[in-house]
């Protein structure tokens, strides 16, 4: 099932201590980076190729370091094999500036 956020929906929300983020992934990028919000999604670029879910797994590892959590604290709710993703990050210890 393809997840597409609704127009006007913010790119993130809190559910208790869990951060829920709508992601627009960009595989095959020059570097791993968190970009700017694009509509109701946050652009996240990763260097991994989009083959067999490897780009998503790479993104989870990158985001785990960025948010100061273990990879097990990040759940890919939707979009494991798609650029449109919904992630749940349990109790992030750090927040990138784009979330302020």
Q: What are the pLDDT digits (tens) for 41-93?
A: 999 999 999 999 999 999 999 999 999 999 999 999 999 999 999 999 999 99
Number of H helices and E strands in the chain, helices first, is 1, 6
- β pairing state of 18-26 and 41-45: parallel
Residue 100 neighbours by CB distance under 10 Å: 5
Nearest-angstrom CA–CA distance, 15 and 19 = 6
Beta bridge partners of 78: 86
pTM above 0.75, yes or no: yes
Q: What is the pLDDT of residues 10-29, one digit of tens each?
A: 999 999 999 999 999 999 99
Q: Are 81 and 61 in contact (CB under 8 A)?
A: no
**Topology adopted by domain 12-92:** Conserved Hypothetical Protein Mth637; Chain: A; (3.30.1200)
Interatomic CA distance for residues 2 and 72, integer angstroms: 23
């Amino acid at each position: 099932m393809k997840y597409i956020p609704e127009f006007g929906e913010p790119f993130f929300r809190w559910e208790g201590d869990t951060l829920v983020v709508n992601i627009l992934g960009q595989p095959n990028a020059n570097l791993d980076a968190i970009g700017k919000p694009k509509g109701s999604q946050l652009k996240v670029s990763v260097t991994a190729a989009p083959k067999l879910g490897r780009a998503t797994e790479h993104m989870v590892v990158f985001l785990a370091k960025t948010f100061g959590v273990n990879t097990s604290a990040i759940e890919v709710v939707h979009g494991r094999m798609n650029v449109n993703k919904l992630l749940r990050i349990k109790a992030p210890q750090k927040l990138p500036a784009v979330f302020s």
